[in-house]
Chains A and B, each alone.
Chain A
Protein backbone atom coordinates (compact mmCIF):
# COMPACT_ATOMS: atom_id res chain seq x y z
CA UNK A 1 0.00 0.00 0.00
CA UNK A 2 1.07 3.57 -0.63
CA UNK A 3 2.73 5.43 2.24
CA UNK A 4 3.47 9.07 2.94
CA UNK A 5 6.32 9.80 5.36
CA UNK A 6 6.57 12.97 7.46
CA UNK A 7 9.03 13.93 10.20
CA UNK A 8 7.36 13.60 13.61
CA UNK A 9 8.31 17.10 14.68
CA UNK A 10 9.70 20.40 13.47
CA UNK A 11 10.76 23.28 15.68
CA UNK A 12 10.95 26.86 14.48
CA UNK A 13 11.57 30.25 16.06
CA UNK A 14 8.96 32.98 15.66
CA UNK A 15 9.46 34.87 12.43
CA UNK A 16 11.57 32.12 10.88
CA UNK A 17 10.71 29.66 8.13
CA UNK A 18 9.42 26.14 8.79
CA UNK A 19 9.69 23.48 6.11
CA UNK A 20 7.65 20.32 6.54
CA UNK A 21 8.35 17.48 4.16
CA UNK A 22 6.16 14.62 2.97
CA UNK A 23 7.75 11.77 1.02
CA UNK A 24 6.18 9.08 -1.10
CA UNK A 25 6.98 7.10 -4.21
CA UNK A 26 6.57 9.41 -7.22
CA UNK A 27 4.55 11.80 -5.07
CA UNK A 28 5.33 14.54 -7.58
CA UNK A 29 3.06 12.77 -10.05
CA UNK A 30 0.12 13.24 -7.69
CA UNK A 31 -1.49 16.29 -6.11
CA UNK A 32 -0.49 16.90 -2.49
CA UNK A 33 -2.68 18.62 0.08
CA UNK A 34 -1.85 19.86 3.55
CA UNK A 35 -4.08 20.18 6.61
CA UNK A 36 -3.48 22.05 9.85
CA UNK A 37 -4.97 20.65 13.05
CA UNK A 38 -4.89 22.38 16.40
CA UNK A 39 -5.70 20.50 19.64
CA UNK A 40 -9.35 19.65 19.98
CA UNK A 41 -10.21 21.04 16.53
CA UNK A 42 -11.03 19.59 13.14
CA UNK A 43 -8.36 19.70 10.42
CA UNK A 44 -8.28 22.76 8.19
CA UNK A 45 -7.10 22.69 4.58
CA UNK A 46 -4.13 25.05 4.11
CA UNK A 47 -2.70 23.93 0.75
CA UNK A 48 -4.23 21.90 -2.08
CA UNK A 49 -3.10 20.79 -5.52
CA UNK A 50 0.52 21.10 -4.35
CA UNK A 51 0.64 24.88 -4.02
CA UNK A 52 -2.83 26.45 -4.05
CA UNK A 53 -4.12 28.30 -1.01
CA UNK A 54 -7.81 28.20 -0.08
CA UNK A 55 -9.55 31.47 0.58
CA UNK A 56 -8.69 32.81 4.02
CA UNK A 57 -5.35 31.01 4.38
CA UNK A 58 -2.49 33.47 4.98
CA UNK A 59 0.11 34.00 2.27
CA UNK A 60 2.84 32.77 4.61
CA UNK A 61 1.67 29.22 3.82
CA UNK A 62 3.05 27.85 0.56
CA UNK A 63 3.63 24.45 -0.97
CA UNK A 64 5.64 22.62 -3.59
CA UNK A 65 5.80 19.07 -4.90
CA UNK A 66 8.42 17.42 -7.08
CA UNK A 67 9.99 14.02 -7.43
CA UNK A 68 9.23 12.06 -4.30
CA UNK A 69 8.76 14.98 -1.91
CA UNK A 70 6.09 17.57 -1.19
CA UNK A 71 6.97 20.47 1.08
CA UNK A 72 4.81 22.81 3.13
CA UNK A 73 6.59 26.06 3.92
CA UNK A 74 5.50 28.47 6.60
CA UNK A 75 7.30 31.78 6.18
CA UNK A 76 7.46 34.23 9.05
CA UNK A 77 6.05 31.59 11.40
CA UNK A 78 3.74 32.89 14.10
CA UNK A 79 2.82 31.40 17.46
CA UNK A 80 -0.67 30.68 16.10
CA UNK A 81 0.88 28.32 13.52
CA UNK A 82 1.82 25.82 16.24
CA UNK A 83 -0.19 22.73 15.30
CA UNK A 84 -0.07 19.30 13.73
CA UNK A 85 0.24 19.26 9.95
CA UNK A 86 -0.82 16.35 7.75
CA UNK A 87 -0.05 15.78 4.11
CA UNK A 88 -2.51 13.85 1.95
CA UNK A 89 -2.64 12.51 -1.57
CA UNK A 90 -4.83 10.29 -3.69
CA UNK A 91 -3.49 7.04 -5.04
CA UNK A 92 -6.11 6.06 -7.56
CA UNK A 93 -9.39 6.05 -5.66
CA UNK A 94 -7.83 5.79 -2.20
CA UNK A 95 -6.86 8.73 0.01
CA UNK A 96 -3.67 8.44 2.01
CA UNK A 97 -2.51 10.65 4.87
CA UNK A 98 0.95 11.10 6.29
CA UNK A 99 1.36 10.41 10.01
CA UNK A 100 1.58 14.11 10.78
CA UNK A 101 4.24 16.59 11.86
CA UNK A 102 4.00 18.55 15.09
CA UNK A 103 5.23 22.10 14.52
CA UNK A 104 6.47 23.79 17.66
CA UNK A 105 7.10 27.51 17.68
CA UNK A 106 9.79 28.11 20.27
Chain B
Protein backbone atom coordinates (compact mmCIF):
# COMPACT_ATOMS: atom_id res chain seq x y z
CA UNK B 1 0.00 0.00 0.00
CA UNK B 2 1.06 3.53 -0.66
CA UNK B 3 1.55 6.08 2.10
CA UNK B 4 0.06 9.56 1.93
CA UNK B 5 0.79 12.79 3.78
CA UNK B 6 -1.21 16.00 3.62
CA UNK B 7 0.36 19.43 3.96
CA UNK B 8 -0.74 23.03 3.71
CA UNK B 9 -1.85 26.08 5.69
CA UNK B 10 -3.85 25.41 8.82
CA UNK B 11 -5.62 28.76 8.67
CA UNK B 12 -7.38 30.31 5.69
CA UNK B 13 -9.25 33.62 5.61
CA UNK B 14 -12.91 33.68 4.57
CA UNK B 15 -13.45 34.19 0.82
CA UNK B 16 -9.88 33.04 0.10
CA UNK B 17 -8.73 29.82 -1.55
CA UNK B 18 -7.80 26.74 0.45
CA UNK B 19 -4.84 24.86 -1.02
CA UNK B 20 -3.56 21.50 0.19
CA UNK B 21 -1.02 19.01 -1.14
CA UNK B 22 -0.79 15.25 -0.68
CA UNK B 23 2.62 13.61 -1.03
CA UNK B 24 2.57 9.99 -2.10
CA UNK B 25 5.30 7.53 -1.15
CA UNK B 26 5.71 3.83 -1.79
CA UNK B 27 4.24 4.13 -5.26
CA UNK B 28 4.08 6.31 -8.33
CA UNK B 29 1.32 8.83 -8.78
CA UNK B 30 1.68 8.03 -12.48
CA UNK B 31 0.46 4.52 -11.88
CA UNK B 32 -2.65 3.70 -13.89
CA UNK B 33 -3.77 1.59 -10.96
CA UNK B 34 -4.95 4.38 -8.69
CA UNK B 35 -7.36 7.22 -8.32
CA UNK B 36 -6.24 9.95 -5.90
CA UNK B 37 -8.95 11.37 -3.65
CA UNK B 38 -9.68 14.19 -1.22
CA UNK B 39 -12.15 13.70 1.64
CA UNK B 40 -13.01 16.04 4.50
CA UNK B 41 -14.56 15.79 7.95
CA UNK B 42 -15.84 18.74 10.02
CA UNK B 43 -15.26 18.35 13.73
CA UNK B 44 -17.72 15.89 15.24
CA UNK B 45 -19.34 15.17 11.89
CA UNK B 46 -19.17 12.62 9.11
CA UNK B 47 -17.01 12.14 6.05
CA UNK B 48 -17.59 14.08 2.83
CA UNK B 49 -15.97 13.13 -0.47
CA UNK B 50 -14.55 16.15 -2.28
CA UNK B 51 -13.30 14.60 -5.49
CA UNK B 52 -10.64 12.50 -7.21
CA UNK B 53 -8.15 12.57 -10.04
CA UNK B 54 -6.79 9.82 -12.25
CA UNK B 55 -3.29 9.56 -13.62
CA UNK B 56 -4.55 10.87 -16.96
CA UNK B 57 -5.54 14.10 -15.24
CA UNK B 58 -9.25 13.39 -15.53
CA UNK B 59 -11.08 14.52 -12.38
CA UNK B 60 -14.48 13.91 -10.79
CA UNK B 61 -15.98 16.17 -8.14
CA UNK B 62 -18.73 16.13 -5.55
CA UNK B 63 -21.60 17.97 -7.24
CA UNK B 64 -22.14 20.06 -4.10
CA UNK B 65 -18.57 21.44 -4.32
CA UNK B 66 -17.89 21.21 -8.03
CA UNK B 67 -18.11 24.94 -8.71
CA UNK B 68 -15.37 25.68 -6.16
CA UNK B 69 -12.99 22.69 -6.37
CA UNK B 70 -9.99 21.85 -8.52
CA UNK B 71 -7.82 18.76 -8.05
CA UNK B 72 -4.53 18.49 -9.89
CA UNK B 73 -1.45 16.27 -10.21
CA UNK B 74 2.24 17.14 -9.96
CA UNK B 75 3.94 14.04 -11.29
CA UNK B 76 7.44 15.52 -10.90
CA UNK B 77 6.94 15.66 -7.14
CA UNK B 78 4.67 12.62 -6.80
CA UNK B 79 1.98 14.86 -5.33
CA UNK B 80 -1.60 15.81 -5.94
CA UNK B 81 -3.40 18.90 -4.71
CA UNK B 82 -6.80 20.37 -4.01
CA UNK B 83 -7.90 23.96 -4.26
CA UNK B 84 -11.22 25.12 -2.79
CA UNK B 85 -12.20 28.68 -3.56
CA UNK B 86 -14.41 31.19 -1.76
CA UNK B 87 -14.16 29.37 1.55
CA UNK B 88 -16.43 30.03 4.52
CA UNK B 89 -16.49 28.75 8.09
CA UNK B 90 -18.45 25.75 6.80
CA UNK B 91 -15.28 24.58 5.04
CA UNK B 92 -13.45 24.20 8.37
CA UNK B 93 -12.59 20.52 8.61
CA UNK B 94 -9.92 17.87 8.74
CA UNK B 95 -8.93 17.20 5.14
CA UNK B 96 -7.74 13.73 4.16
CA UNK B 97 -6.13 12.46 1.00
CA UNK B 98 -6.75 8.83 0.10
CA UNK B 99 -5.82 6.35 -2.60
CA UNK B 100 -8.34 4.24 -4.44
CA UNK B 101 -7.20 1.18 -6.35
CA UNK B 102 -10.60 -0.39 -7.06
CA UNK B 103 -13.79 0.63 -5.28
CA UNK B 104 -12.71 1.51 -1.73
CA UNK B 105 -10.42 4.15 -0.30
CA UNK B 106 -7.67 1.79 0.74
CA UNK B 107 -5.01 4.10 2.16
CA UNK B 108 -5.55 7.39 3.96
CA UNK B 109 -3.28 10.18 5.07
CA UNK B 110 -3.25 11.26 8.68
CA UNK B 111 -5.38 14.29 7.90
CA UNK B 112 -4.74 17.99 8.29
CA UNK B 113 -6.98 20.49 10.06
CA UNK B 114 -7.90 23.59 8.10
CA UNK B 115 -9.67 26.38 9.93
CA UNK B 116 -11.43 29.16 8.05
CA UNK B 117 -11.39 32.28 10.17
CA UNK B 118 -10.50 35.94 9.97
Contact = CB atoms under 8 A, between A and B. Distances in A.
B47 A54 contact: no
Query: How would you classify the secondary structure of chain A's contact residues: helix, strand, loop or mixed?
Result: strand
A97 B48 contact: yes
A98 B46 contact: yes
Interface in B93-118: 96, 102-106, 108-111
A97 B49 contact: yes
A25 interface: no
A100 B103 contact: no
Given A98-B46, A99-B46, A48 B103 contact: yes
A43 B103 contact: no
What's the interface size class on A, roughly? 20 to 34
Nearest to B62: A94
Interface residues of B, number: 20
B17 interface: no
B49 A95 contact: yes
Contacts, number: 54
A31 interface: yes
B80 to A, nearest CB: 16
A35 B64 CA distance: 23
B60 interface: yes
Given A42-B96, A94-B60, A94-B63, A48 B104 contact: yes
A88 B60 contact: no
Given A33-B105, A94-B63, 14 more contacts: A1-B64, A42-B110, A42-B111, A43-B47, A43-B105, A44-B108, A45-B106, A48-B104, A48-B106, A86-B47, A88-B47, A88-B105, A99-B46, A100-B47
Interface of A: 1, 31, 33, 35, 42-45, 48-49, 54, 86, 88, 90, 93-100
